[in-house]
Structure 1
Amino acid sequence: MAPHVLVVCAAALWGLATGSAVPRTAHRLAAPGADHESTAVSRAVRIRSALLGCLVCAALGQVVGVRPELAVWLLLAPVGLTLARVDLTAMRLPDALTLPAAAGTALALGGAALLPAHAGSWPRALLGGLALGVGYFGLMVINPSGMAFGDVKLAPTLGMALAWYGWPVLLTGTVLCFGCGALVALVLLATRRAGRHTAIPFGPFMLAGTLGGVLLGAAAH
């Protein structure tokens, strides 16, 4: 079996295994202090989450291939899925994930940059993380009701992942984040499932746009 096929299969299995654990982890983070021993996550929810994790990781394996940064993206995938679920459930992005993710991504990409066949730049990734973090902080200052501090804390991780492949990828991924958010908001308004003042979690759109940007950036390299 070709090495690339093995990588995709391994990535898919990783996504399947970690994705199935996302709902329970997300519930614990969304409702700290609750009686988690008595909380059961339905089998259907676990299956859907596992399939989503499998799809995300398989796509990363297919596009990124055998490059060393694939390990970083695969480690971030379950973290991103957990953050998205917590934000959708509790409208927050917990520090327990966002802060370690930023530090871990910086260190892991530094390690990937030391290995042959990598397709990115570690210094540019660090600068991209800083730039996106500052940009989101500025948006929060300008419009506190439209941007939460949890989004600001998540931004450096996503900025590093995108800028690893280049400044155009950082721009593309950021546009995808806001484009996805605006599109969903318009659909919700049109279907009257939300009003002009309804709070909509932005974390899932940040994560989805970043995934799209990383896939596009890896495909271009």
Structure 2
Amino acid sequence: MRMTGILPEDAPDPRVEQVERLKLMPIPVMGLVPQPSLEDTDTVGLGYGQDARGYSEMTASVTYTLWRNPTDRSDPMNLADLDEQSRRAIEDVPPWPRPAWLVEQVERMRYPQLWEAVRTTWHRDSSERYSVRSVLVDHVNYILNQYRHELGLSGNPWDQPATTVTDVMVNGQVTVLVNGVEVPGAEVNTDPFVYGIGAELAGGGVVAAVLPRAELKRVQVQFTTRG
């Protein structure tokens, strides 16, 4: 018998379907270069818009697990700062078997996650709205919703979005390494909580990363095509 709301032990891993959906992306999905402090766990989200002509835009977002001490993953410094409710959600094991992939995801919640840290954005039609500066500002403001407590906002992002970064805060005089090549880019280096950087891709589209400033010293900010 399968109870409502309970995944059977043989439930398929949703990441398999995500991989198939990502094949819809007209350009390669980008990520940060492989490095000891970041673990790419294939947690990639795909958003898109459509009209009468088909897909008009797509965005692939890559999430990473952060290891503050990658040489010793048992080091307590690797643990995330969790509230009591989140801790209970991880530690309360239900009396029924769960899919292995779900157990893995729950255990991973013990560690800091860089949610949607890297975005690859494609738009069918070019316009200023889809420029590096505009895409980067949108990404930064989206990630800032994770800092609502620090910004003195309510817990509901629909009440008051954390829109604190504007186009005038973008520095368009920087370079970015993309697949080992230095290219013109743009950055947001004025916010106290996050750092953002992005560039236009040679094959079309934009790649952008928004990272917690507190962890920036542990991250090598260079882009590469995900394997």
Q: Which has the larger radius of gyration?
A: 2
**1 or 2, which has the higher helix percentage?**
1
Q: State TM-score, norm by structure 1.
A: 0.29
Q: State TM-score, norm by structure 2.
A: 0.29
